[in-house]
Structure 1
């Protein structure tokens, strides 16, 4: 299968943000972005491990015009960075996604959990368990919701994709470690198109893979390199 896309040119509009290791509408190691129905942007700041920069691990919400709306989340203290870490804290946050009600879901590859925040920025729940069984995960990365509010998670170190209800009930999984069709080598990013098909950034395989909603492999593109159409460790889509 060959898909051809006409060249697209984007006209520069303006820049949003600045380096900001504390509160404010700047960023510190931003790793993920999404937007809500009001076109507010949610930027996930992975932050630093330096104690002086502890406040930098957060989600910053702001308008296209760079007006700060709110912030939520904070860095967990090192001695608490385990399965019982306080709600609303992050260690190595990796992705943020919004469900149909506007709740924000944040994955954390160190704490191996999903944290859920309401529109006021309050943490209203967490779920997740380290492991390789169904519903367990090891270093989760990308998150994406489908039209039915099912949450798809890239389970990085388990080299697979998992599907959950938004309450954390396991529904399905597919993938294994490898370089063949439908296999992964530390996958990272995820996106779902208007048809419900799922695109995965297959990090170490330097390619993008496409799947149907039930996990059936559809196509792939990309190879290792620096030329047009080649990738080196793709992380997002």
Structure 2
């Protein structure tokens, strides 16, 4: 089964310094039919204005993944971390028993663009932790590059849930396939840029699609396309 949500169908918030598009209910955007997808709770497409950002704020009982799409954010938290998160890097944070953090765009002219993903953890009351990793773009040319998953593996980040986050950059006229780690899982597809055909469905920039009861997805790029998939437990 498939459910497509077009870019202009998402929830929207514009605070002046922060422009957000919500795939699922978040903050003032409330939609009873869009409360999450299996273990996936939040997918926010955020743009933060230059010299603006999120002040220190608190989280508990959530796995938070930030995929940096453009620009740079400076992250700081109550675990003692202060780090720059740059384009092409991914951050994972286990909120667990509680952590406060903030992100700031220190650049004077360039907006920071990111995808913020919240995932329910397998267990509650985990020890808070923070990690980040840089992923080379060449590692995802026409093949899916795993960014994070629920197993400890070299070259990717760990998330406390049975999930896989992967990204691919497909040249126009080429295709790439994603095979699910578990056929009982669902897949959230997000097109960062470009235009891809998935079977009989066409997805354009910032469109998304929820998929269940399929074991493999093949993406045919109509033009150079950047695609993120989030495979999640539906239990």
- What band does the TM-score fall into relative to the shorter chain? 0.3 to 0.5
Structure with greater proportional strand content: 2
Provide the TM-score with structure 1 as the length reference: 0.37
Provide the TM-score with structure 2 as the length reference: 0.37
